[in-house]
Each structure stands twice: as structure tokens, then as C-alpha cells.
Amino acid sequence: MRILLIEDDPVLGMAVRDQIVADGHGADWVTRLADAEHAVHAAAFDLILLDLMLPDGRGSDFLRKLRSTGDATPVMVLTARDQISDRIAALDAGADDYLVKPFDLFELSARIRAVGRRYAGNPNPLVTLGDIEVDLSARSVRRAGQTIALTAREWALFEAFVQRPHQLMSKPQLEERLYSFDAEVESNTIEVYVARLRKKLGADVIETVRGMGYRLGTPGGGA
């Protein structure tokens, strides 16, 4: 796996790069966003590790620009504990995962392995639910052959269900999933997004279990 590391701190950067190499991956390490943009244009990566605070700009801006070009390379954000707003911005901008500094290098290895399993392990990770096809790496959903566009939040919610097909998930669980550690929201946001997903993908896509939460339904009938 080829990994692009965008991190300006020399100590952390070196440690992470060494760990990546030790895990048997290829590592490209840049310290500025300008270099990072050059790198993603020059080569294809399987994973990008992105620090949010960089000398020549914000990592979330880089990420947003990357996603706007249609690039779906998995991005794992490296963030400090108190930069909650930045973290949310990063998830909104299209980050796939995040790691809170200071993090254990074992944790890093485990996450990278998880990415490899999820994305590179099987080149065509298609999940099928009735007549719905989900491509986790491409972030695309099709129902009856028709591609359906989901917004960032809609996708984040839907992905949570797809990754755990039989699991019942409570609203607090889902809120935490969508809003990271800043689960301060006291509203019906989850309900609203469930409704929007049902409107886009079909009413039977998500099943309500009163008083407990939601779970993936069985689209297209129980067949």
C-alpha cells in the first residue's frame, strides 16, 4: 500500500513514516500542502494521512479541494484533542477516519490495516442490499441501476448502517458517529437524516425500532 503523509512536525512525522515503512508500506512524507497537492497529482495513493494544522494552510481545505475533484482516496485525519471544530470541518470535508494526537503507533498500524482491508483487500467492495448496490470506496449508491447522490451527512449516516448490517444502533450512537466527540446536539437531526435517506433510497432501507434506535432494513422485500 502506498501512503501519503502530510505532517509538519518533524518528530511525529518521522515516527509515523518509520512505522508505515516498518509495516511494509510505501511512505511519501511532505510537510506542506503545496507539496501534498503536487504529490496527489503526480501519483495515486491508497491512503492519505493528513494533519490539520500546517504551515501553509488548513488541512480541511486541502481535503475539500481533493474531494471536489472527485478523488475518493481514503483520508485519515490526524488531529489534536482540543481542535474539535477543525475535526468536524475535516469530517464534513470528506475525511474517512481520524486519529487523535497523541496516538499510539500500534493504533496507527491497526487503522492502516483496517483501511487496507476495507479498500485494497478486495478491489471491488460492493455491498448489495436487495436492489441497492453500495460501493464504500467510491462512496456511491445505486438503486435499480440508478445512481443516487448523497450529501456528506447522508452518506455518513448510511455508511454507519451498511458497515454493521444487523446491528441495531441507538440515536446517541449515531450522533457520535456523525459528530465525533462533540456529541452535544440535543435535536432530532438523526431522525431528519433517516427520513431523507428513506426518501432517496426507499422507505424500507432503514427500519425503526421504537425506543431503541434504527437498523438496516431489507430493501426489495425479504427475498
Partner DNA sequence: CCTCGACGTTCAGGTGGGTGTCAGCTGGGC
Partner DNA sequence: GCCCAGCTGACACCCACCTGAACGTCGAGG
Residues near DNA (CB under 7 A): 64-65, 68, 89, 92, 149, 151-154, 171, 178-179, 185-189, 191-195, 198-199, 208, 210-213
Distance CA 119, CA 74 (A): 8
CB of 170 to DNA, least distance (A): 8
Distance CA 148, CA 197 (A): 10
* 21/203 with CB nearer DNA: 203
- Give buried/exposed letters for 124-154 (b at 16+ CB in 10 A, else e): eeeeebbebbbebbebebebeeeeeebeebb
* 35/207 with CB nearer a second copy: 207
What mask, x for binding a second copy by CB under 8 A, covers residues 143 to 172? ------x-xxx-x--------x-xxx-x-x
Provide the binding-site residues for a second copy, judged by CB under 8 A.
Answer: 72, 81-82, 84, 88, 91-92, 98, 100, 103-104, 106-107, 110, 124, 135, 137-140, 149, 151-153, 155, 164, 166-168, 170, 172-173, 181, 183-184, 209-212, 215
